[in-house]
Amino acid sequence: MHILIVNDDGILAKGIQELARELSKDHNVTVIAPDEQQSAKSHAITIFKPLVVKSFDMKDINGRAFSVSGTPADCVRAGIEGIIKEEEIDIVVSGINYGVNLGMDVLYSGTVSAAIEASLYNLPSIAISAEIDKYGNGRFDLGATYVRGLIRDKFDKIKDFGKVININIPKLPDGEIKGVMPCRIGQVIYDYYTDDVDEEGQRIVQPVSRKNPEEMIKDTDRYYIKKGYITVTPLQYDFTCFEGLEDIRGWI
């Protein structure tokens, strides 16, 4: 099987390198990743300048690696339309992201958007992210082995599923992982402050941290990852609200 691996943290990120090493134990992999940090670039693509592609020496993988001077979605497009256009791709895996992609994170995430971009080409795709602590440590090892097993055991289901599979891995020892929980996305709000001035005397608005709702909504990805589960959520690019569509037809 040929797997295209992408991310948004860049070609040097620990998550993508661990994922590539693990998946290449069973498959031929091609890694195509941004040449620098591209987190929170969502589904942006580069249209006003060419993308620079460079070969990258990624140790201990069965395959090739390339860096691209663009966004995560660019990496998918550059791979499919250019770098490996003559080769069949069986599945695209995006990650392992440095930090979870829960709730509304999926709207901003370059990791998730890269997987969605792959789905636009009718390719099965997985986005995987790992919870990290304040020191930047996460279960990238567990994420890599989980995806390897999922592809090995369930590819016949994944290839015809038609949705992006968004996976989040809690930062817990194996013995404290309670299981795998399919669930919907929850709510995460970003908090900002505006009362700061930079060194040049300019007023700045700076993102600070997540501001979570006081009450966690049950049956959501955020709820279950806090309970110790690996969360799995199907996503799709079609944002159409079909209930609203029927309503608006009655009065527009």
Residue 151 lies in a domain: yes
Residue 196 lies in a domain: no
Amino acid 213: pLDDT: 57
Residue 38 lies in a domain: yes
CB of 30 within 8 A of CB of 3?
yes
Range of the domain at 174: 2-185+217-249
DSSP 175: G
Amino acid 191: pLDDT: 63
The residue assigned the tokens 């940090």 is 37
Residue 98 lies in a domain: yes
Amino acid 215: pLDDT: 57
Residue 239 lies in a domain: yes
| pTM for the structure as a whole | 0.93
- The CATH number covering residue 111 comes to 3.40.1210.10
CB of 146 within 8 A of CB of 129?
no
Single-letter code of the amino acid located at 220? T
Q: Of all helices (H) and strands (E), which one includes residue 5?
A: strand 2-6
Residue 167: phi and psi, rounded to 5, are: -120, 140
Q: What share of the chain is helix, strand, coil (3-state, %, to 5)?
A: 30, 30, 40
DSSP 25: T
Nearest CA among 94, 127, 88 for reference residue 235: 127
Encode the chain (252 residues) as per-residue pLDDT tens digits: 999 999 999 999 999 999 999 999 999 999 999 999 999 999 999 999 999 999 999 988 989 999 999 999 999 999 999 999 999 999 999 999 999 999 989 999 999 999 999 999 999 999 999 999 988 899 999 999 999 999 999 999 999 999 999 999 999 999 999 999 999 998 766 666 667 888 999 988 877 666 665 557 788 999 999 999 999 999 999 999 999 999 999 999
Structural domains in the chain (count): 1
What angle do helix axes 14-23 and 140-158 make, rounded to 10 degrees? 50
Residue 105 lies in a domain: yes
Residue 208 lies in a domain: no
Residue 168 lies in a domain: yes
